[in-house]
């Protein structure tokens, strides 16, 4: 809000007074926004916790408020259920590919969506145990570190 008002040419003192007033009247609430945004993006857009944090940070939400919002959203919407739904949809959409190749591509897709690698691997192995050997060699710790680096 502060950046948007300054970009429109409002004096810094006026911007600060407006921010204080909006917060006092609870019209500007980063924590509430973060929770609502994270829940919506998790539930309706299929984004995992890493992408949610990243999106909130890009919107100017401080890290503690972003983390709290993501935690609150994860308390309301099951990340596992969202991942399972996305995985099944993606699996059906790529029927032309060989199952082992589909599974590796699905793993990469879910990782890019911001889901934790350990959760992805455990769910894919549970959903498609017949081809779980296709996931051998994918290192969750390395994938998690790569995803967390993009969050910052």
**Residues 29 and 83 both lie in one domain:** no
Closest CA to 82 of 46, 116, 51: 46
Domain count, the chain: 2
**Residues 63 and 89 both lie in one domain:** no
Say if CB 50 and CB 114 are below 8 A apart: yes
**What domain range is 129 assigned to?**
79-151
Residue at token pair 């969050």: 151
**Residues 102 and 136 both lie in one domain:** yes
The whole-model pTM stands at 0.77
CA distances to 67, 70, 94, 101, 147 from 34, rounded to whole Å, are 8, 7, 34, 36, 20
Instruction: Provide the token pair at 12.
Output: 């810094």
pLDDT reported for residue 19: 87
Residue 139 pLDDT exceeds 60 = yes
pLDDT reported for residue 23: 81
């Amino acid at each position: 809000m502060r950046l948007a008002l300054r970009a429109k040419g409002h004096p810094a003192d006026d911007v600060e007074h407006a921010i204080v007033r909006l917060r006092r009247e609870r019209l500007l609430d980063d924590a509430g926004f973060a929770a609502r945004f994270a829940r919506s993006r998790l539930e309706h857009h299929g984004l995992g916790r890493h992408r949610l944090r990243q999106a909130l940070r890009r919107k100017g939400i401080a890290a503690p408020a972003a983390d709290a919002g993501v935690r609150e959203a994860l308390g309301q919407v099951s990340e596992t259920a969202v991942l399972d739904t996305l995985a099944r949809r993606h699996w059906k959409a790529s029927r032309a590919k060989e199952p082992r190749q589909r599974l590796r591509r699905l793993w990469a897709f879910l990782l890019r969506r911001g889901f934790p690698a350990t959760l992805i691997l455990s769910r894919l192995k549970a959903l498609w145990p017949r081809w779980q050997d296709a996931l051998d060699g994918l290192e969750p710790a390395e994938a998690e570190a790569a995803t967390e680096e993009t969050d910052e």
